[in-house]
């Protein structure tokens, strides 16, 4: 059946809404379960002790005690206590390597390949076509994800018009939400620990007909409820830091996929950008 995390993800869509609350709480707070009762988990998940017990049965466990046992073993084996903790502990065994640079970069390349193998070609093709055809693209991200969104905006802006980073300041955000319509496309990056702002913004965009593409790291991330399409970049540890190289590689691949739908157009855009940039710099420093 796989790990307890995989078991929860496999059953997630068949759970009741209240049981899904329990599932999300457990996945986001695995260390809490081992030292707290089912009643306390139910209260923290805004449900009840009974719902927690029913959740255990629904995913094929014989009760809450088995859930505690399996989560404890999972945490011991995978060390999922914190993003920074995961990042540091996963690198400790490499610190004494003479070929440290090669080893670390090889690990990163393996991670990128594993994630690439998870991407469905048909989904990738359709999504990048929608990116090409959209009149405007809005990029949404918070926390560490905001840096990835900024890079994507910088890159797309060199190739096409109307690419905007969605602001989080209230006044600017209200104006942005008011201006979007069904001709727009949104790309939202939502990684553990799943900031609320990008999820709420995506929900508002969807109400206005915007096509929303999510990039996340689990099959049960909250953003799934509000996205038309989702690319799940799964890895063993819940470490946003460790995810960044693969995330940036995937974003770069999205850009390449978008360009593949009209290579001549994007090459023309690149030439125009280079010509203007060279002219601007020459004039500025003449």
Whether the model pTM is above 0.95:
no
Note whether 189 and 231 are same-domain residues: yes
Positions in the chain short of pLDDT 50 = 80-82, 84
Give tens-digit pLDDT for 33-82: 877 889 999 999 999 999 999 999 999 999 999 998 888 777 766 554 44
Residue 99 lies in a domain: no
Work out the mean pLDDT of the chain and round it to a whole number: 86
Q: Does 65 share its domain with 115? A: no
Q: Is residue 142 part of a domain?
A: yes
Mark whether 145 and 260 lie in a shared domain. Answer: yes
| Spatial distance between the Cα atoms of 129 and 152, rounded to a whole number of angstroms | 17
DSSP 104: H
Give the chain's domain count: 2
Are residue 65 and residue 168 in the same domain, yes or no?
no
Domain extent for 229: 111-279
- Cα torsion 149, 155, 156, 160 to 10°: value is 160
Q: Which string of DSSP letters, residue by residue, matches 73-84?
A: HHHHHH--S-HH
| Residue 284 covered by a domain | no
CB of 217 closer than 8 Å to CB of 232: yes
């Amino acid at each position: 059946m796989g790990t307890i995390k995989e078991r929860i993800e496999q059953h997630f869509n068949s759970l009741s809404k209240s049981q899904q609350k329990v599932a999300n709480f457990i996945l986001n707070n695995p260390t809490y379960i081992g030292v707290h009762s089912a009643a306390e988990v139910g209260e923290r998940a805004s449900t009840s002790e009974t719902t927690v017990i029913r959740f255990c049965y629904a995913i094929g466990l014989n009760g809450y005690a088995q859930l505690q046992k399996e989560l404890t073993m999972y945490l011991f084996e995978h060390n999922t206590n914190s993003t920074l903790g995961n990042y540091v502990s996963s690198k400790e065994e490499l610190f004494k390597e003479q070929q440290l640079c090669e080893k670390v970069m090889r690990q990163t390349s393996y991670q990128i390949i594993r994630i690439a193998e998870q991407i469905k070609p048909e989904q990738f093709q359709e999504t990048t076509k929608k990116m090409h055809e959209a009149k405007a693209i809005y990029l949404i991200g918070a926390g560490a994800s905001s840096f990835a969104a900024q890079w994507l905006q910088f890159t797309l802006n060199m190739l096409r018009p109307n690419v905007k980073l969605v602001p989080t300041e209230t006044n600017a955000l209200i104006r942005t939400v008011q201006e979007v319509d069904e001709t727009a496309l949104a790309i939202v990056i939502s990684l553990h620990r799943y900031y609320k702002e990008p999820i709420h913004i995506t929900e508002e965009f969807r109400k206005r007909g915007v096509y929303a593409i999510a990039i996340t790291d689990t099959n049960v991330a909250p953003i799934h409820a509000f996205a038309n399409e989702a690319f799940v970049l799964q890895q063993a540890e819940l470490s946003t830091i460790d995810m960044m190289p693969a995330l940036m590689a995937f974003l770069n691949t999205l850009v390449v996929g978008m360009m593949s739908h009209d290579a001549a157009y994007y090459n023309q855009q690149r030439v125009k950008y280079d010509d203007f940039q060279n002219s601007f710099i020459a004039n500025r420093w003449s």
